[in-house]
Chain A
Amino acid sequence: MPTEEVLGLAVAGTFVLYALLGGADFGGGVWDLLAGGPRKAEQRALIARAIGPVWEVNHVWLIVGLVLLFSGFPRAFAALSVALHVPLTLLVLGIVFRGTAFTFRAYDTRGDAVERRWGVVFSVASVVAPLLLGMCVGAVASDAIRMQGHAVVSGFFASWLSPFAVSVGVLTLGLFAFLAAVYLTHEAHTPPLAEDFRWRALVTGALLFPLALVALLLSREGAPRVWAGLSQTPFALALHVGTAVAAVAAFALLWTRRFRAARVAAATQAGLIVLGWAVSQAPYLVYPGLTLRSAASSPTVQRLLLVALAIGAVAVVPSLVLLFRVFRPQAPGAATPVPPT
């Protein structure tokens, strides 16, 4: 396998992980915004507690993906930065407000209007950021970003405001909300709280089907490459079957309240959707202008990057395992992580 394909897979891998972990994290913000019913406060407390220890880590995947992109495929990074300047700028503003609002709220607890206002900033940014992220993905997947040589010639708005890109944005938001709800069923330490998120997960999960269908149908016009990949290639069938099996399994497991397993099924489902996008677009990074090969940095650089990736994995994987072990959900009544007071 050529190095640029291995690196391309690594980039896709970081996107899958960002969608799963960062996505659930964004989704937590969505449910913070939509918290309601008799256990409104408990829902918000659960979200804050579940996210607190891991939210910084969840978002490092984005940085890793970016760094791999600009070191491994510098031309693609440059082209995307120009073509998607506007939505990416809005996205980073969303990330800034989300991250800081979450921290200020967690560490400046006063139980008053100020704290609640941070909560609103946090949850609104949690809705806007995935929407923009999805729209950027939609723009990349469509053939709307056009280049002449190294210059982007398709303007700064049309590519990400197309119906297809918007439909991917909404699908992303729905997917993240679904993931978060499923994760939270397992994090909840009282049955009523788990029940709150169980029905949220079932409803958003059901909504995902029409959203995905709309995006798929719009891709026929809006993203022909992805449409062809998702409807005509041999891997497509396997992918659709895999996604469908995972989706049905997630539903069945949620229905029967096997939350731990439901979480795995939901993650598989979401991971396959992101992977499906990546594979249907390969070998293009930006269709039709840049392929993995044409955007790749020199082979020396790519080999060293793979070495750095291996070193990184050796340092990061055991630490991550430790982190998730320390903060795995505990039985009711056990000590729960709270910020030091």
Chain B
Amino acid sequence: MTDLLYARAQMGLSLAFHIVFAAAGVALPVLMVLSDWKHRRTGDNDYRKLSEKLAKGTAILFAVGAVSGTVLSFELGLLWPEFMGRYGEVIGLPFSLEGVAFFTEAIFLGIYLYGRERVSPGLHLFSGVMVAVSGAASAFFVTLVNTFMNNPSGFTATPAGPTDVQPLVAMFSPGWQYQTAHVLLSCYQASAFAMAGIHAFILLKHPGAAFHKKALSVALPLACLTALLQPLVGDLSAKHVARSQPVKLAAMEGHFDTEVGAPLLLGGLPDVETRTVPGSIGVPKGLSILAFGDPNAEVKGLNDFPRDTWPPVAKVHVAFQVMVGTGSLMALLALVTLWRRWRGREWPHGKGLMRAWLFTGPLGLVALEAGWLVTEWGRQPWIVRGVMRTSEAVTPVPHLAAPFFTFTAVYLFLGVTVLFVLWRQVAATLPGAVDGKVTHAH
């Protein structure tokens, strides 16, 4: 592998690792505050216990998210010094505001976690709300930076770097509404589905366990709501990509020839040599409708663009299919669940449906990672689309294999450890666990 590839792999790995924790840091505080609030309203101590468990989960995931985020802010320079040296000033504003949001998040998380006995109940709940709001703000600002990289604006490009920098224009680059909404929803959706999956798993083993039924009643509304909203926002986002980044859209769809009334390709693995997508099923006029809302719209194909500006087509296409596929499954399950909720007047917890929730539990995270890969791979070979190539941004430091393998090992180790520690938190709520301790051996 070249040093450029090692640098990209290390950045990709760090981000793939970080966004899991970042998503949890955005969404878990909401679930934590919801259960806290339910406890206040109903006086039911299970909700308090649930809120405390979620607070612990938040603390663990937030800490790992904070350190992996710190790594990323160093890696921006360590791996892409040319990018930061030239465009640091253009994207500094959203990063600075993200810093502010991160600050308030850390402060109020400290108060919420350690202050239950020290501050008034009102201030305690307020701190939880502040954690949730700051988490969302943080994700919002950081996504704005990515929007800029996809649709750079607010400066004039010269060979010596950007001039006439207008940070506010750069901060709200075209499409910011769609991308931030899509990302924020995905954080809530991934976390709510993961939480629902965990409690569905326990309810399958211990049917009727009251605590876990209540936990489901907190997770399922958020899961269903986000799963149904996400396809709508995703469609708006795709329409924007179609207009602003036609190469990315063509790669997402494996669309080689410019066509009027272009079909939508489902599945398949694009072959850039033959410029076909073997194994795919075409839905007539589907792509024209989805991308432009018009069955006879012309959709540009990859062949209309210079070969050296193509993203890795097969990877982008597969990642996109995974995102859309998992998203559709989750939306379908949300519909079925809401139907059963409407018929049964309480959140359903039957065996069949619990199996379905267990199966879809990880899909939110899968979709989140896949969607992020679509946008990152889809932007290649650019780090700032149309302005700076990734290969121009990389550090001149040699032997980048060494940090890549080191961080890979560290993240693997941390990932396994977090799962283990979180599982112990969940296990302590199982029927048969005594006094917060697990009675069976591990």
Binding site for B on A (CB under 8 A): 52-54, 56-57, 59-60, 62-64, 66-68, 70-72, 74-75, 77-82, 85, 88-89, 91-93, 95-97, 99-100, 102-104, 106-108, 150-152, 156, 297-298, 300-301, 304-305, 308-309, 311-312, 315-316, 319-320, 322-323, 326-327, 335, 337-341
Determine the chain B residues whose CB is within 8 A of the CB of A85 once the complex forms: 78, 395, 397
Asked whether, in the complex, the Cβ of B114 is within 8 Å of the Cβ of A327, the reply is: yes
B113 within 8 A of A: yes
B86 within 8 A of A: yes
B297 within 8 A of A: no
Smallest CB separation, A320 vs chain B (Å): 6
8 A Cβ contacts from B393-434 to A: 395-397, 403, 406-407, 410, 414, 417, 421, 424-425
Determine the chain B residues whose CB is within 8 A of the CB of A341 once the complex forms: 436
Using A74-B84, A96-B410 as known contacts, list a sample of 7 further A-B pairs with CB atoms less than 8 Å apart, ordered by residue number in A: A53-B114, A56-B110, A67-B92, A67-B95, A72-B89, A107-B59, A300-B166
- In the bound complex, CA of A67 to CA of B100 (Å): 11
Determine the chain A residues whose CB is within 8 A of the CB of B102 once the complex forms: 60, 63
- In the bound complex, CA of A91 to CA of B407 (Å): 13
B171's nearest neighbour on chain A, judged by CB, is A304
Asked whether, in the complex, the Cβ of A107 is within 8 Å of the Cβ of B88, the reply is: no
Asked whether, in the complex, the Cβ of A156 is within 8 Å of the Cβ of B107, the reply is: no
Task: Tell whether A339 pairs with B59 under 8 Å between CB atoms, given A57-B103, A323-B111.
Answer: yes
Asked whether, in the complex, the Cβ of A312 is within 8 Å of the Cβ of B103, the reply is: yes
Determine the chain B residues whose CB is within 8 A of the CB of A92 once the complex forms: 70-71, 74-75
B272 within 8 A of A: no
Binding site for A on B (CB under 8 A): 52, 55-56, 59-60, 62-64, 66-71, 73-78, 81-82, 84-93, 95-100, 102-104, 106-111, 113-119, 130, 163, 165-168, 395-397, 403, 406-407, 410, 414, 417, 421, 424-425, 436
Determine the chain B residues whose CB is within 8 A of the CB of A340 once the complex forms: 52, 55-56, 113, 116
Most buried by B among A52, A64, A107: A107
Task: Tell whether A53 pairs with B110 under 8 Å between CB atoms, given A74-B85, A77-B84, A77-B85.
Answer: yes
Determine the chain A residues whose CB is within 8 A of the CB of B165 once the complex forms: 297-298, 300-301
Asked whether, in the complex, the Cβ of A301 is within 8 Å of the Cβ of B167, the reply is: yes
> What are 30 A-B interface contacts by the 8 Å CB criterion?
A56-B66, A56-B110, A57-B103, A57-B106, A62-B70, A64-B99, A67-B73, A74-B84, A85-B397, A89-B406, A91-B74, A93-B410, A99-B67, A100-B417, A103-B60, A107-B59, A297-B88, A297-B89, A298-B163, A301-B90, A305-B93, A309-B96, A311-B97, A316-B107, A319-B108, A323-B111, A326-B111, A326-B118, A340-B52, A340-B113
